[in-house]
Amino acid sequence: DGRRLLGFAGNDYLGLAAHPALREALLDAARRWGVGATAAHLLGGHRAPHAELEAALADWTGREAALLFATGYMANIGVLDALLSRGDICVQDRLNHASLLDGARLCGAVLRRYPHADADAAARRLTLRPGTAALLASDGVFSMDGDVAPLRALAAQARAAQATLLIDDAHGLGVSGPRGAGSVAAAGLDAGDVPVLIGTLGKALGTQGAFVAGPRALIEALAQFARAHVYSTAPPPAVAAATLAALHLARQGEDLRARLAARIAQLRAGAAALGLRLLPSQTPIQPLLLGAARTALAWSHALEQAGLYVPAIRPPTVPVGQARLRIVLSAAHGAEHVARLLDALAALRARADAAADPAIATP
Ligand SMILES: *Cc1c(COP(=O)(O)O)cnc(C)c1O
């Protein structure tokens, strides 16, 4: 409605979405390549910037090869559909992203979900019958909780069960690990441990799209058999060029990651001092658990009145009784921005404590 709000909602963790280098790369490439890719990858839509980006993503993540998809949602649908057939087993964390769950449902695999972050429970569901395949799939960093999957334990269990491990690192890439290579690299795991790595480009890289990285034979097979890749128009070459610029910044972005870490520490210390319950997360996703959906809505509304955009996340996105504010931090935030958020939260906390306003009272 024409008002400017300070945002704590987007997944632009490194502050690259509006970075001058990305704008320039996009404009330059648009002048050269035009806007649309005009066709699917296999029918002439695959241009030099796509090929360059795939090679750079493989190199960054320490994989042999990578394949682009138009979105992360389609990457997960496409990869699961290509790897699993009816009757194969797909074991997933209960809090996995919707696109992983939908991918398993659409391909007709037997979907078995395990309690959040419980690698032993995952192992119990990985029983293989002869002639079937088993795939274990987890988010690297969970999108609504901000916690990191027990990646080393999952890798060990997948190996023991001769199952394939797929990690969707949409929220870890660029943010954690050496040179920002993600939560899998941060856990000390390599391509042998996690043969199928999914990454999205619309979060820390600040652009749009997704990729799967892994052994060359797998990537070549996916290029032929992942229908979401084969039968969909390639993303604009200019977006691939802008993503390449983002990747260079993210790779060398230790200063950005240090800034982000400082904001995370500032928010957590400030919230603790206010007695507010942030979930135990060390990532830029810092959820404030409020319980009832109407409480979360009331807090979000009150913050908006104070000039801050922090959306309420409600069921069915999160379990009933676990509505929350999903506070997301970015290297683009300054200390003064986090201080403004903490001031507004302090005022709300005081109102809730005084019970002057039952709508915002926390349980
Ligand atoms: C955002 C997200 C996706 C979907 O990616 P899009 O490019 O937005 O379609 C997939 N998986 C996870 C874990 C995500 O957080």
Q: How sure is the predictor about 1, in pLDDT bands with cuts at 50, 70 and 90?
A: confident
What CATH number was assigned to the domain covering residues 20-251? 3.40.640.10
Find out whether the beta carbon of 235 lies less than 6 Å from any atom of ligand 1. Answer: no
Residue 314 is predicted with a pLDDT of: 95
What ranges do the domains of the chain cover?
Answer: 20-251, 254-354
Reply yes or no on whether 333 is catalytic: no
Could you report the per-residue pLDDT of 173-215, keeping only the tens digit for each?
999 999 999 999 999 999 999 999 999 999 999 999 999 999 9
Read off φ and ψ for residue 268, nearest 5 degrees. -65, -40
Spatial separation of the C-alpha atoms in residues 99 and 283, rounded to whole Å: 21
Mean pLDDT value of segment 310-322:
94
Instruction: Name the residue of 94, 99, 203, 239 whose CB sits within 8 Å of the most ligand 1 atoms, as the mutation to test its pocket.
Output: 99
Taking CA atoms, 247 is separated from 7, 21, 244, 252, in Å, by 23, 11, 5, 9
Residue 358 is predicted with a pLDDT of: 57
- pLDDT beyond 60 at 363: no
- Is the alpha carbon torsion for 205, 207, 212, 217 positive or negative? negative
Q: Where are the alpha helices (DSSP H) in the chain?
A: 20-33, 48-61, 72-83, 98-107, 119-124, 151-160, 183-186, 216-225, 227-230, 237-251, 254-273, 293-305, 335-353
Mean pLDDT value of segment 253-260:
98
Instruction: Indicate the SS3 state at residue 13.
Output: coil
Q: Considering 19, 46, 50, 203, which one is annotated as catalytic?
A: 203
**Contact assessment for residue 25 and residue 185, using Cβ atoms and an 8 Å cutoff:** no
Residue 339 is predicted with a pLDDT of: 98
Spatial separation of the C-alpha atoms in residues 170 and 184, rounded to whole Å: 11
Q: Considering 50, 171, 229, 337, which one is annotated as catalytic?
A: 171
Superfamily of domain 254-354: Aspartate Aminotransferase, domain 1 (3.90.1150.10)
Residue 362 is predicted with a pLDDT of: 58
**Ramachandran assignment for 307, one of left (phi > 0), alpha (psi -120 to 50 degrees), beta (any other):** left
pTM: 0.95
Residue 359 is predicted with a pLDDT of: 61
**How many whole angstroms from 73 Cα to the centroid of ligand 1?**
6
Find out whether the beta carbon of 143 lies less than 6 Å from any atom of ligand 1. Answer: yes
Spatial separation of the C-alpha atoms in residues 201 and 243, rounded to whole Å: 7
Q: Considering 138, 143, 281, 330, which one is annotated as catalytic?
A: 143
Residue 356 is predicted with a pLDDT of: 58
Taking CA atoms, 315 is separated from 297, 303, 329, in Å, by 12, 20, 23
Spatial separation of the C-alpha atoms in residues 209 and 71, rounded to whole Å: 4
Find out whether the beta carbon of 12 lies less than 6 Å from any atom of ligand 1. Answer: no
DSSP 257-316: HHHHHHHHHHHHHHHHHTT--B-S--SSEEEEEEESHHHHHHHHHHHHHTTEE--EE-TT
User: Prior bond to 316 cis, omega within 30?
Assistant: yes
Q: How sure is the predictor about 128, in pLDDT bands with cuts at 50, 70 and 90?
A: confident
Mean pLDDT over each residue of the chain, to the nearest integer:
95
